[in-house]
Amino acid sequence: MEGMSGPYQIRGSVSLPEAELQWRFSRSSGPGGQHVNTSDSRVELLFDLAATEALPEVWKSRALERLASRLVDGVLTVRASEHRSQWRNRETAAVRLAALLAEATAPPPKPRKATRIPRGINERRLREKKQRAETKRGRQGRDWG
């Protein structure tokens, strides 16, 4: 894979292992004129998430759970065909895969800690609400004209 700007970082020091990436190429249906009929510019990038050793075990189980709907036999597939050149589609697919894995392996957000609304704020809200109601009630006079 000459010229590729890898390795693609997932998060921290963990990156996509080139050896575990499988590439498939086919004819794209996108832009490209007559040239598109003869070149395999569409890219499919396959990554065996279930069998990988590159991810820490915790990340792997988290990703398998979160990406379950996208996996086929534990393999994650990313397609790219926006660009006319195969090389740019490869770049796009690899970046997309890295972003997908980064999102899927992220730790769950911290649970929200319930807090009470301070009494002063609540009282002020109710006071302003009453004031607004008064203003509107004042507009209801029928003997205007």
Pairing of strands 42-48, 71-72: unpaired
Query: Digits of tens for pLDDT over the chain (145 positions)?
Result: 444 455 777 777 777 777 788 888 887 665 666 665 667 778 888 888 888 887 888 888 888 888 888 888 888 888 888 888 888 888 899 889 888 888 888 888 899 999 999 999 999 999 999 999 999 998 887 665 5
Q: What confidence score (pLDDT) does residue 119 get?
A: 94
Distance of CA 108 to the CA centre of its chain: 14
Structure pTM? 0.64
Helix ranges (DSSP H) in 40-79: 57-66
Helix ranges (DSSP H) in the chain: 57-66, 86-105, 119-138
Q: What confidence score (pLDDT) does residue 5 get?
A: 54
